[in-house]
Amino acid sequence: MKNRIDRRAFLVTTGAMGGMAAARSLFPAPALAKDLKGSGQVAVYDGGGSWGAAKKAAYFEPFEKETGIKVIIVPRTDTGAVRASILAGAPRYDISILSGSSTETFAREGLLLPIDYGWFEKADLDAFDPVKPGQFHVPHIIYSLVLAYDSAKFASAGPNTWADIWDVKKFPGPRSLPTGTWGGDGGTYECALMADGVEPSKLYPLDWNRAFKSLERIRPNILKWWTSGAEGPQLIVDRQIVAGSAWNGRISAANEQGAKIGFSWNQGILQYDNWVVPKGAKNVENAMKFAAFASRPENQARFVEHILYAPPNAKAYDLIKRERAKLLPTSPEVRGLQFVQNYEFWNALGAGGVPNNKIAVAEWEKWLAGAR
Amino acid sequence: MARRSALIQFGAFSRMPAADVPADRVRRRALQGTAALVVPALLVFLVVYAAPLGSLVVDSFHKDGSFTLANHLESITSPAFGTIVLRTLTLSAIVTVLCLLIGYPLAYILASLRGAVAAGLLLLVSVPYVTSILIRSYAWVVVLSGNGIINKALLWLGVTDEPLRLVFNEAGTYIGMVQVQLPLMVFPLYAAMHRIDGSLVAAARNLGSSPFSAFWHVYLPLSGSGIAGGCTLVFLSCLGFYVTPALLGGPGQYLVAQGIAVRVTTLADFSSAAAQATLLLAVVLVIFIACRRRIASELGGGAAPEAHSHDGAGSGLRRWPNAVERIALACAPVLRACGDTISYGGRLVLWIFAVAALVYLVLPLLVVIPLAFSDAAYLTFPPPAYSLRWFKAFLSNTQWLEATWFSVRMAGVGAVTSLLLGVPVAFALVRRRLVGKLSIYLLLISPLVVPHVVIAVALYFTLARLQLVGTELGFVIAYTLLGMPYVLVVFIAGLRRFDQTLEMAAASLGARPITVLGTVTFPLLVPSLISALLFAFIAGFDDVVLGLFLSGPTATPLPIRMWDNIRLEISPQIAVVAVLLFVALAASYCAYLLLSSRMFLRLIFRSQSVDG
């Protein structure tokens, strides 16, 4: 017998045996584990690709095993289709995922049910960091929009700030940033303001004019605006661009497969997705149980083994290998270099009672059409 | 009922009534016949398309329960929207002209071929469709970028000293878009040219006509319906297009459909999306009304009273929509050159041109094939090593296989349904007298113009009410809507150049209407049927947008799986799908060859036994 217990190996073994209670007893104050056993089914938002596979291994299968509730895996879709399904009174999911930049808007429109925290462990809820659970949402994953570059091109001293990304003399070559029609999700406006010298703490409310002035400077060097998470890293791999922005998980996944993409956590924008329960969901109780299950640290730690999205429950870090943890944006070493995006701003109503997300699209179109 | 009968007038062409049947009975029968042709398609469209879309449009005029023009004014008064619409129209027009210039000589060569060779080359023309839009765009980047295949070749040949910028700018947009739209031009042209009697051109030449004049006055007018059909398809489908320009265009590229898609998918703001779609549709409507006389005569001349047009009776050329005619006249020198080329036996030049056009169509696939055999975990060209890992991954993944099978079945059933509903309408529009032809035509082809995200939202609410979301029937309905415009445009082009005297001859020789249909009409329309079916199938098979709304746990089409897969990482998996689709197409081509040769044998065998 080994006398040194490797936490991860222990977790995996006990998890495989279905002994989740044993795994939880690793923590100092394990309140009585809430019994999530139930019956019936729950329709859950799938992620597709590696995201879906990670959810299946970390959440769907163990949840079925522990609770007896069947998980119906429903394919992912766009925000618009989720909203349409709730409006039609037949939500696509019992428990869905929404980006932080649209969650509040859904809640304001009365499209979500309040989360029943009775099913959750208090210790888990307290451990959520840096984003807390809210009345209508439980954070699911945290990721960071960081500056990325071709590390073959700038081997010794790569760009380290958004100002560097804007500095085409020091780092010559084409760039790519997310399209501004993504509003908050793309972070392009924040990047533009930081490149112009605005401190992260003084970003909000965003100064649109200053942001577009800054974008005007980089525009001649933009090869294209990227429109899917895969595109940024792909453009670097293909040597089409030398620098830009990308999500940390995409960069690490590409690098694990042999790509050479450099990045910096400095001035990274922390973003997150939430679990939400749509109004009209057929299996509300099961959905709440699922959200509670997905908030447990051991499940989030297992999730991280499959994909590099940070766990919102900070206790999960106790169970994640160090080398793996270092790649995550909320690990203690790098957390302080970044800031959490202000979703409150993006969901709020701006000038003329129009939501800021919508203002961003309209202003972006004006700018591209040369009418700004 | 009253409205319907008011809508439908009497058939101009009633099928050989027996002399003793009273006139009003003939009239009534013709009326019923026309109604039977048009009503099924119209009913389907009214219930699952027009009504939901209409209510979405009505919604766009409401805010907090009261009437408002805010959504529309917001767009109209925005300088950005006007500019974006204008850009979209210009881009669509240029792509249409380019498609015509490339597609016409290509279709001409294809139409001069027969049998297996023609079928094989037509198959190559449809190749752009087997590759999903994302992998195709990726392939174009590989071909066109600074360190891409073309630039490497040009540098090596010493044609240029530094790489040309061929992608992520206007050039990339046009190269990518024309390639996708070209089949929409070539197929209707081919269907029209296929039936042109070559001896007519020869006769003109014999009578002393110059080569150009023979081409200009005989061949070109005879192919006019194909030109009209092809231009309509290409222009309209460009209006609703945005993914390819977004992926291959420059940072300034932004089309109206993109703005509408952003409003639906990201902002979930259906009202302003509906408002913009309404405005786009209004623009299209204005274009159509401006060309209504041309369209009406294209539809058979018997349309609304003001649309009566006999000025162009003698010349197909005059039947074209105005814009096309002007463009054609502007291109006269090129066409003249074409004419000369044909006459001087310079078919070689035409052949070279046609082969170049085919290479252009196939080029991305040539990049996609090695990618599918890549050993790399991500997309990189050329692949560092080759293996079958992505084929194995695909074939061992039940989710992907199920999705593929689902897509094939639903797109197939959808295509057949739109054919069954659409062909009778095409007959009625071209051959019967009908009030409101233009409206019916516009309604049925509008799914081509209305951005798919808007159709998706409208259709979603209707199907949700009927509890059809996530079901097979839901997808069949959706794919039928998408396929209808292609069926209609292709078939109308097919019927326009149809020599009705052949049918009359058969009828006068005693053939019953059903026999005429089976032995004369149908066989002559086979090329149109096949291309209509192919387009309708692809319209459904390629759809992502409607699938995003209508899919469910047991109803997930292939494009949704691919979409899911490539949002976060682009793997060679989608290249595998493209290669497999191409193999399937090639296999069906071989089956076709085998079948037709057996029929050929049987034919020989039978004629021998008759002789014996």
Smallest Cβ–Cβ distance between B564 and the set A75, A219, A366 belongs to A75
Q: Do A238 and B380 touch (CB under 8 A)?
A: yes
Taking CA–CA distances from A186, the nearest residue in chain B reads B266
Q: Do A182 and B266 touch (CB under 8 A)?
A: yes
Average pLDDT score over residue span B258-268: 90
How far away is chain A from the Cα of B252, in angstroms, using its nearest Cα?
6
Quick: pLDDT tens for A307-326.
999 999 999 999 999 999 99
A88 contacts on B by Cβ (under 8 Å): 460-461, 464-465, 469
The pLDDT value given to residue B16 = 44
The pLDDT value given to residue A251 = 92
Smallest Cβ–Cβ distance between A81 and the set B141, B252, B548 belongs to B548
Taking CA–CA distances from B256, the nearest residue in chain A reads A365
CA B292 to chain centre: 21
How far away is chain B from the Cα of A229, in angstroms, using its nearest Cα?
5
pLDDT over 90 (residue B605): no
CB contact, 8 Å: A89 with chain B?
yes
Spatial separation of the C-alpha atoms in residues A158 and A162, rounded to whole Å: 12
Nearest Cα residue to B573 out of B386, B437, B417, B377: B377
User: Residue B527 in contact with residue B190, Cβ under 8 Å?
Assistant: yes
How far away is chain A from the Cα of B62, in angstroms, using its nearest Cα?
16
Among A180-189, B343-352, B453-462, B487-496, name the one with the lowest average pLDDT. B343-352
Three-state SS across B53-96? HHHHHHHHCEECCEECCHHHHHHHHCHHHHHHHHHHHHHHHHHH
More confident position, B565 or B221: B221
Confidence of residue B336 (pLDDT cuts 50, 70, 90): low
DSSP characters over B291-339: THHHHHHHTTS-SSGGG---TTTT-GGGGS-HHHHHHHHHTHHHHHHHH
Taking CA–CA distances from B252, the nearest residue in chain A reads A368
pLDDT over 50 (residue A25): no
CB contact, 8 Å: A40 with chain B?
no
| CB-CB neighbours of A68 under 10 Å | 12
Taking CA–CA distances from A89, the nearest residue in chain B reads B464
pLDDT over 50 (residue B1): no
A226 contacts on B by Cβ (under 8 Å): none
Smallest Cβ–Cβ distance between B84 and the set A229, A238, A365 belongs to A365
Smallest Cβ–Cβ distance between A90 and the set B266, B379, B469 belongs to B469
Percent of chain B having pLDDT more than 90? 29
Percent of chain A having pLDDT more than 70? 91
Is residue A260 classed as helix, strand or coil in its secondary structure?
A: coil
Among A264-268, B549-553, B608-612, name the one with the lowest average pLDDT. B608-612
How far away is chain A from the Cα of B129, in angstroms, using its nearest Cα?
22
The pLDDT value given to residue A10 = 41
A239 contacts on B by Cβ (under 8 Å): 147
Quick: pLDDT tens for B422-456.
999 999 998 888 888 888 988 998 898 788 888 99
Quick: pLDDT tens for B229-241.
889 889 988 988 8
Percent of chain B having pLDDT more than 70? 84
Q: Do B80 and A371 touch (CB under 8 A)?
A: yes
Encoded tokens for A145: 């929009």
Quick: pLDDT tens for A219-249.
999 999 998 888 889 899 988 999 999 999 9
Spatial separation of the C-alpha atoms in residues B455 and B54, rounded to whole Å: 11
The pLDDT value given to residue A9 = 42
User: Residue A139 in contact with residue A188, Cβ under 8 Å?
Assistant: no
pLDDT over 90 (residue B242): no
Segment 201-240 of chain A within 8 Å of chain B by CB: 219, 222-225, 227-231, 234, 237-240
**Residues whose CB falls within 8 Å of the CB of residue B165, separated by 6 or more in sequence, listed in order:** B146, B171
How far away is chain A from the Cα of B387, in angstroms, using its nearest Cα?
16
Rg of chain A in Å (alpha carbons): 21
pLDDT over 60 (residue B609): no
Confidence of residue A1 (pLDDT cuts 50, 70, 90): very low
B569 contacts on A by Cβ (under 8 Å): 49-50, 230, 250, 253-254
